[in-house]
Amino acid sequence: MRPRTLGELVGQTHIVGEGKLLRRMIDADAITSLILHGPPGTGKTTLAEVIANATNRRFVRENAASVGVKRIRELIADADRALSDTGKRTILFLDEIHRFTKSQQDVLLADVERGLITLIGATTENPLFSVNSALISRSTLFRVEPLTEGEVVEVLKRAIADSERGFGTLDLDVTPGALRVWAVKSEGDARRALTALEVAVLSLKEETERRRDEETECAGSSTSSLSLSVSSSLLRIDERVAEDSIQAKVASYGDDGHYDAISAMIKSVRGSDPDASVYWIARMLDAGEDPRFIARRLAILASEDVGNADPRAVVIAASCWELVERIGMPEARITLGQCATYLALAPKSNAAYRAIDAALEDVREGRVQPVPLHLRDGNTSPIADDDGEGKRVRTVEGESYEYTHNSEDGVSGQRYMGVEKRYYEPKDVGAERVLRERLDEIRSLRERKRKGS
What's the fold here for domain 6-143? Rossmann fold (3.40.50)
pTM score: 0.57
- Distance, CA of 81 to CA of 67 (rounded, Å): 20
- 3-state SS track over 184-227: HHCCCCHHHHHHHHHHHHHHHHHHHHHHHHHHHHHHHCCCCCCC
Q: Are 168 and 230 in contact (CB under 8 A)?
A: no
Closest CA to 127 of 37, 253, 33: 37
CB atoms within 10 A of CB 296: 16
Q: Are 135 and 105 in contact (CB under 8 A)?
A: yes
- Distance, CA of 32 to CA of 117 (rounded, Å): 9
CA distances from 317 to 4, 285, 294 (A): 53, 18, 11
- Distance, CA of 245 to CA of 239 (rounded, Å): 10
Kindly indicate whether the domain formed by 149-244 is annotated with CATH number 3.40.50.2300.
no
The one-character DSSP state at 155 is H
CA distances from 171 to 11, 90, 165, 193, 234 (A): 28, 42, 15, 20, 5
Element (H, E) at 17: none
**Residue 304's pLDDT is what?**
93
Q: What is the pLDDT along the chain (453 residues), one digit of tens a residue?
A: 888 888 888 888 898 888 888 988 888 888 888 999 888 878 888 888 888 888 878 888 888 888 888 888 888 899 889 888 888 888 888 888 888 877 777 788 888 888 788 889 898 888 887 787 878 888 889 999 888 999 999 999 999 999 999 998 888 899 999 999 999 888 888 888 999 999 999 888 888 777 776 666 666 554 444 333 333 467 889 888 888 888 765 555 555 667 888 999 999 999 989 999 999 999 889 888 889 999 999 999 999 999 999 999 999 999 999 999 898 889 999 999 999 999 999 999 998 998 898 888 888 877 667 777 666 666 665 555 555 555 555 455 555 666 666 676 666 666 667 667 777 788 888 887 888 888 787 777 777 777 775
Domain ranges of the chain: 6-143, 149-244, 255-345, 370-450
Q: At what angle do helices 274-286 and 332-345 cross, to 10 degrees?
A: 150
- Distance, CA of 109 to CA of 380 (rounded, Å): 65
**Residue 223's pLDDT is what?**
44
CATH architecture under which domain 255-345 falls: Up-down Bundle (1.20)
Closest CA to 37 of 130, 136, 118, 144: 144
**Residue 265's pLDDT is what?**
93
**Residue 382's pLDDT is what?**
57
Q: Are 252 and 126 in contact (CB under 8 A)?
A: no
